[in-house]
Amino acid sequence: MGTLRVPGTEIFFEERGEGDPVLWLQGLGADHTAWSAQLARFGARYRCLAPDNRGAGRTPPGRPIDIRLLAQDAQALLAARAPGTPAHVVGLSMGASIAQELALLAPDRVRSLVLVSASTYIEPRIQELLRAWREIYPRVPADVFQRQANAWMFSWRFFEKPQAVRSVIQYAERFSAPSEWFVAQAEAAAAHDTRSRLGSLNVPTLVVTGSEDQMVPPRLGRALAEAIPGARFVEIPEAGHIVNLEQQRAFNDAVGAFFEEN
């Protein structure tokens, strides 16, 4: 685990492997360990950098946050740990919002983009969900919050595997952020909107969506791919929002093949 001092806070990150850099950006409330399966596979060939975004894991918000600030943090991490070398950038959900902002802010730092469970903006239906989560999270234990969140995050197949469900609940009990951190991240996530700017991107892009994602359904992933010149869209069957966990092999294979091409 390494640390990087940026304005207002200290970012904690994991660095694993050698080779071309890959930056892994997680979603709302999740720390870098939510990429564990990907770090294990891709760390054998690539130099993987996986930060705890402000407001998750061991990185305090430090000050009011928004997606642009989180993208600036990512830019600073790449400058410090992979200077002069553009990185493959993978973002999931809110992490994909950060990845979009990073590519718009510093396209010279981005070799390719993989946008997972992602959209161009947060539609009103999910705005309502995020408002509810900002109210619920401070009021209930971590396991209770996670149980209701799981219903949004995974397909029905996930719940047929009791050990998988228990593992996610235990993860939440160990790693859930303080209430004010989660609320700050949720407010930042809700403000994401790149619709008017994505047409300027000139970065190889793969958009990955689970076919059964209830939070960001495939129609929104397709719209994101259509908004980015030359982007490719991949829909992974039998997966919900956390496609990298629920269909780990299919996800890793799709991302690995894209890295090979770019």
> 179 vs 26, 76, 78, 152, 235, CA distance in Å?
18, 26, 29, 20, 34
Return the pLDDT at 225. Answer: 98
pLDDT, mean of residues 144-162: 96
Question: Is it the case that residue 70 has pLDDT exceeding 90?
Answer: yes
Write down the residue that tokens 């997606």 correspond to. 67
Give Rg (Cα) of the chain: 17
* Burial class of residue 230, CB neighbours in 10 A (0-12, 13-18, 19+): exposed
Taking all residues of the chain, what is their mean pLDDT, rounded to a whole number? 97
Write down the residue that tokens 């039998």 correspond to. 238
Return the pLDDT at 84. Answer: 87
pLDDT, mean of residues 135-153: 96
pLDDT, mean of residues 117-121: 98
What is the value of pTM for the model shown? 0.97
With a pLDDT cut of 70, the percent of the chain lying above it is 100
φ, ψ of residue 10 in degrees (nearest 5): -125, 120
Question: Is it the case that residue 206 has pLDDT exceeding 90?
Answer: yes
- The band of 105, judged by pLDDT with boundaries at 50, 70 and 90, is very high
Question: Is it the case that residue 139 has pLDDT exceeding 90?
Answer: yes
- Summarize pLDDT for 159-203 with one digit per residue, the tens: 999 999 999 999 999 889 999 999 999 999 999 999 999 999 999
pLDDT, mean of residues 20-35: 97
Return the pLDDT at 99. Answer: 98
Return the pLDDT at 156. Answer: 96
d(CA 96, CA 207): 10
Give the CATH architecture of domain 2-261.
Answer: 3-Layer(aba) Sandwich (3.40)
pLDDT, mean of residues 123-152: 97
Q: Where are the domains of the chain?
A: 2-261
DSSP sequence for 168-212: HHHHHHHHPPPHHHHHHHHHHHHT-B-TTTGGG--S-EEEEEETT
Taken as a whole, the chain contains a residue count of 262
Return the pLDDT at 89. Answer: 98
Q: Which run of H or of E encompasses 62? A: none
Return the pLDDT at 1. Answer: 83
